[in-house]
């Protein structure tokens, strides 16, 4: 059980930014000029998921980080005995039950610069969308901190899909980051999105070489409804990248079985070109989909993406 302590840096009331309908940020506790949108703030399936956001400082294993769905991001400096909120700068919609309290969507993964552990980045996701989508999508995406999670800055571009599921850094240059996204359609009905609205056309992987100031959607074997759930760079040769993917059509019991699968993606030139392979994953699309299933099947992506040949 997490024991929450108030942060000595700032009161929780001003720790995050509540987002108004125009997308502008209003400090929590302030009264926005127009009524801010809210979320029901109930977990989609499992309450308060942490996904793969738990991370350990590579130079001091007493320093821990974790993102908690709905509640925010937390840091411990004593091996987990106590935790403080570390959510300053993270955007969120308010809760429908209490609009002054932020409701954070999922924290998917954390990466820390091993050469300077004060630098870390996280990826957050809800439904696919961009900062221009009139939904909570504008609060998600990539956030980075240069001060050990004391303050966060959102590092995305307006056209970028903010349903970011995984992040990896070039082991030699933390300014070069790769993120994988949910390349499925917008799940919000009109007037938020027209039916069949997609936000990716080239690939469900983005790359930045300037710490998130700009991003490029890579040509990465994209098919509609592809998700990239893990991406990793080879520590021995950062030009070699692997990504685990799965395809899932919107709705229906056959959503995975009927979708196109790409399996494992591989690049040997820093993401400029990619090949796809289903080798060894079995003939059934449900086996080729590299996701965590309820019964533990198809959980191979973790070891697949850490094995370099």
- What span, in angstroms and rounded, lies between the C-alpha atoms of 204 and 195? 20
- The pLDDT score that the predictor gives to residue 75 is 98
Q: Across the 309 residues of the chain, what is the mean pLDDT of every consecutive 10-residue run? A: 33 46 42 65 70 96 96 97 97 93 95 98 97 94 98 97 98 98 94 94 97 98 95 96 94 80 97 96 90 40 36
- The pLDDT score that the predictor gives to residue 160 is 98
The domain ranges of the chain are 4-164+194-214, 219-309
- The pLDDT score that the predictor gives to residue 280 is 92
- The pLDDT score that the predictor gives to residue 238 is 96
Q: How far is CA 36 from CA 12, 14, 19, 62, 275, in A?
A: 19, 16, 7, 39, 44
- The pLDDT score that the predictor gives to residue 124 is 98
- The pLDDT score that the predictor gives to residue 250 is 87
User: What's this model's pTM, rounded to 2 decimal places?
Assistant: 0.84
- What span, in angstroms and rounded, lies between the C-alpha atoms of 286 and 258? 9
- The pLDDT score that the predictor gives to residue 253 is 59
């Amino acid at each position: 059980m997490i024991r929450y302590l108030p942060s000595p840096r700032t009161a929780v009331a001003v720790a995050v930014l509540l987002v108004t309908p125009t997308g502008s940020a209003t400090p929590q506790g302030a009264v926005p000029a127009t009524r801010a949108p809210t979320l029901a703030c109930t977990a989609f399936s499992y309450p308060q998921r942490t996904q793969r956001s738990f991370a350990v400082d590579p130079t001091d294993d007493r320093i821990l980080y974790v993102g908690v769905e709905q509640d925010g991001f937390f840091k411990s400096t004593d091996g987990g005995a106590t935790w403080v909120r570390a959510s300053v700068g993270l955007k969120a919609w308010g809760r429908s039950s209490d609009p002054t309290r932020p409701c954070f969507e999922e924290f998917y993964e954390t990466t820390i610069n091993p050469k300077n552990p004060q630098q870390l980045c996280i990826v957050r996701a809800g439904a696919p969308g961009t900062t221009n989508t009139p939904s909570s999508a504008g609060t998600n995406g990539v956030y980075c901190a240069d001060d050990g999670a004391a303050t966060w800055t959102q590092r995305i571009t307006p056209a970028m899909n903010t349903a970011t599921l995984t992040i990896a850094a070039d082991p030699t240059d933390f300014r070069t980051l790769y993120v994988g996204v949910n390349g499925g359609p917008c799940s919000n009905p009109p007037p938020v999105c027209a039916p069949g609205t997609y936000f990716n056309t080239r690939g469900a992987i983005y790359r930045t070489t300037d710490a998130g100031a700009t991003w490029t959607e890579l040509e990465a074997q994209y098919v509609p409804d592809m998700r990239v759930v893990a991406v990793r760079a080879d520590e021995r040769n950062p030009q070699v990248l692997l990504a685990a993917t799965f395809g899932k059509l919107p709705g229906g019991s056959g959503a995975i079985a009927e979708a196109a699968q790409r399996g494992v993606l591989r690049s040997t030139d820093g993401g400029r070109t990619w090949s796809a392979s289903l080798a060894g994953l079995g003939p059934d699309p449900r086996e080729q989909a590299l996701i965590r299933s309820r019964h533990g099947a198809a959980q191979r992506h973790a070891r697949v993406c850490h094995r370099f040949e």
